[in-house]
């Protein structure tokens, strides 16, 4: 009988654990007045991290809260809303989605639709690719994705400055990591929210990248008078180190691909080239570098072939 009770208790406990869902243990870290960051892990997507490999942020102003990226899942979005409510009574008035990758927008469900804003290109990309991303995320991180659905941004972001509660936000419409990358610079605090145009100590990802455009966007960001930069992935920095690191990696990657194509290397050979020591320190380089070869090498090697004569 005791055993039966113990079993029943166990089943009940398991049931309530399931009902409780996935806890991201979000602990916002303040980096500037009114400015908080939720820093993700330097990992690939796993069941254990629930997709929390991304940095999201929010700024509490006198006219409401501004959120930068909604995170990888519905539960992440809901837990962000709860974390904000613990710090301020201000309502959420704006959610800026930096680009269309799944870890940055799949928390949209938790926010009022009218607050969801992105570049028009980003919304178009979410429309075409969002559903497949969402399905893939269920496969990669499992139950943390429960009930997550694709919600499109309702507001189109125009580049320029916008004043919210005494913060002058400069919105930069850039590209290169994807076809539409939004960066947000808060002139009041000097914090630059760079989205995935900037990675820090974590290998950049390139499934939709155009390296030449990306490098141009990095120059634009580097010219801003920022005091801190919040990268899309990796630790916040008080200098342009992450921008330089991202630029160095992309330059190196571009060079390796072009040299390999000119030398006639096959894709598998390029994937197995030794990596420079400075980049071997980047998180997940062993998985991201071959992925990048897969994304970018086909176009580069085609350009190195010559049309035939009949």
Partner 1 sequence: MTALSRLAVFALALWAAHALAEPDPLDSARWGDMRAQLFDGATVVFDPRVGVTAPLTAEDPMNVPIAVDASALSNVVEVLVFADFNPITKVLAFRPLGARAELAFRIKLQQSSPVRAAARTGDGVWHVGGTWVITTGGGCTVPSTGSASPEWQSRLNEVSGRIWSRPEGNRVRVRIIHPMDTGLAASIPAFYIEQLAVTDSQQRVLMEIDAFEPVSENPLFTLDLPPEAGELAAIRITGRDNNGNRVDAQVAR
Listed residue (74, 58, 69, 68) closest to 141, CA to CA: 74
Residue 62 sits in the site that holds partner 1 (CB under 8 A):
no
CB-nearer residue toward partner 1: 224 or 267: 267
Q: Which is nearer to partner 1, 277 or 306 (CB)?
A: 306
User: Is 271 one of the binding residues for partner 1 (CB under 8 A)?
Assistant: yes
185: enclosing H helix or E strand:
strand 181-186
**What is the size of the binding site for partner 1 (CB under 8 A)?**
26
Q: Which of 2, 128, 268, 274 binds partner 1 (CB under 8 A)?
A: 268
Closer Cβ to partner 1, 223 or 305, answer by number: 305
With contacts defined by CB under 8 A, name the span among 181-189, 190-198, 251-259, 286-294 that binds partner 1. Answer: 286-294
With tokens 């390296």, the residue in question is 211
Bridge partners, 67 (sequence order): 58, 95
* CB 142 to partner 1: min, Å: 15
H helix or E strand, kind and range, residue 59: strand 56-61
Q: Which helix (H) or strand (E) holds 96?
A: strand 92-96
287: contact with partner 1 by CB under 8 A:
yes
Six token digits for residue 300 = 């580069």
Q: Applying CB under 8 A, which part among 108-116, 160-168, 251-259, 300-308 lies near partner 1?
A: 300-308
Helix (H, G, I), strand (E, B) or coil at 205: coil
How near is the Cβ of 99 to partner 1 at its closest, in Å?
A: 19
Nearest to 200 by CA among 172, 240, 142, 169: 240
For position 139 contacting partner 1 by CB under 8 A, the verdict is yes
The answer to whether 226 and 192 are in contact (CB under 8 A) is yes
26, 224, 285, 304: which one contacts partner 1 (CB under 8 A)?
304
Strands 191-199 and 181-186: antiparallel
| Residues of the shown chain interacting with partner 1 in the complex, contacts defined by CB under 8 A | 136, 139, 207, 263-264, 266-269, 271-272, 287, 290-291, 294-295, 298, 301-302, 304-310
């Amino acid at each position: 009988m005791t055993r039966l009770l113990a079993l029943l208790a166990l089943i009940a406990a398991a049931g309530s654990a399931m009902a409780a869902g996935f806890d991201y243990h979000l602990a916002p870290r303040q980096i500037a007045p009114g400015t908080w960051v939720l820093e993700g892990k330097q990992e690939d997507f796993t069941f254990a991290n629930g997709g929390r490999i991304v940095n999201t942020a929010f700024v509490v102003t006198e006219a409401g809260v501004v959120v930068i990226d909604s995170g990888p899942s519905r539960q992440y979005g809901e837990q962000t809303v709860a974390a904000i409510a613990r710090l301020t009574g201000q309502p959420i008035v704006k959610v800026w989605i930096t680009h269309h990758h799944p870890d940055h927008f799949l928390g949209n469900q938790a926010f009022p639709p009218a607050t969801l804003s992105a570049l028009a290109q980003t919304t178009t990309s979410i429309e075409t690719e969002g559903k497949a991303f969402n399905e893939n995320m269920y496969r990669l991180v499992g139950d943390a994705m429960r009930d997550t659905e694709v919600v499109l941004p309702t507001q189109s972001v125009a580049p320029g400055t916008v004043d919210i509660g005494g913060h002058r936000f400069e919105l930069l419409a850039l590209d290169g990591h994807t076809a539409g990358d939004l960066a947000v610079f808060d002139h009041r605090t000097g914090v630059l929210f760079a989205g995935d145009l900037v990675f820090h100590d974590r290998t950049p990802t390139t499934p939709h990248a155009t390296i030449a455009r990306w490098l141009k966007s990095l120059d634009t960001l580097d010219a801003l008078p920022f005091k801190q930069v919040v990268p899309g992935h990796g630790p916040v920095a008080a200098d342009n180190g992450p921008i330089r690191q991202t630029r160095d990696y992309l330059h190196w990657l571009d060079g390796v691909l072009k040299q390999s194509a000119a030398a006639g290397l096959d894709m598998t050979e390029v994937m197995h080239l030794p990596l420079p020591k400075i980049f071997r320190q980047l998180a997940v380089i062993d998985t991201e570098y071959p992925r990048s070869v897969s994304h970018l090498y086909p176009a580069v090697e085609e350009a190195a072939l010559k049309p035939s004569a009949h």
